């Protein structure tokens, strides 16, 4: 059951992480976040988590965040809507790259997920490995998006 999984997010606090936080509260799975301190979720998000009797673990060390994870999840370090110094942010995240060394601290049967497109936040070796399920994830997203469109046009049964 999903409530027994250890999910790890490595990366910036963005819309994908905010959704993951909301789902972790609803479905009660363990969520570890690995990010540099200044990129942590804002206080109002953490206050909401606490108000809903949930605890999320935030680590400024990616290996501690990924330890014994069933799933390692990430997104591009510098997203389309990001404003600010791109080279500084990339430098801030240089120790948070998902590579085989980081994946070695996860469970032996762990998987890697990414919402695409990919940047330098994950090594080619991890991204193309058997543990990577990014293409299945993308295919699932296509079906969800088609359903949303059908619903929006009143065509969903």
pLDDT at 43: 94
Average pLDDT over residues 124-146: 96
Give the confidence band of 80 by pLDDT, cuts at 50, 70, 90.
low
Q: How far is residue 11 from each of residues 6, 65, 145, 146, 155, measured CA to CA in Å? A: 16, 11, 24, 28, 37
Average pLDDT over residues 10-33: 95
Q: Name, of 76-85, 105-114, 148-157, the range with top average pLDDT.
A: 105-114
Q: What percent of the chain has a predicted confidence (pLDDT) above 90?
A: 86
């Amino acid at each position: 059951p999903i409530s027994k999984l250890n999910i790890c997010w490595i990366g910036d606090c963005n819309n994908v992480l905010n959704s993951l936080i909301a789902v972790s509260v609803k479905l009660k799975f363990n969520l570890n976040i690995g990010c540099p301190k200044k990129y942590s979720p804002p206080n109002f998000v953490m206050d909401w988590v606490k108000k809903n009797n949930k605890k999320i673990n935030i680590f400024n060390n990616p290996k501690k965040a990924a330890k014994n994870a069933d799933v390692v999840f990430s997104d591009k370090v510098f997203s389309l809507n990001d404003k600010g110094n791109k080279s500084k942010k990339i430098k801030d995240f240089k120790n948070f790259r998902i590579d085989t060394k980081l994946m070695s601290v996860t469970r032996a049967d762990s998987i890697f997920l990414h919402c695409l497109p990919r940047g330098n936040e994950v090594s080619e070796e991890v991204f193309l490995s058997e543990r990577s399920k990014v293409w299945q994830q993308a295919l699932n997203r296509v079906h969800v998006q088609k359903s949303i469109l059908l619903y929006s046009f009143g065509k969903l049964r």
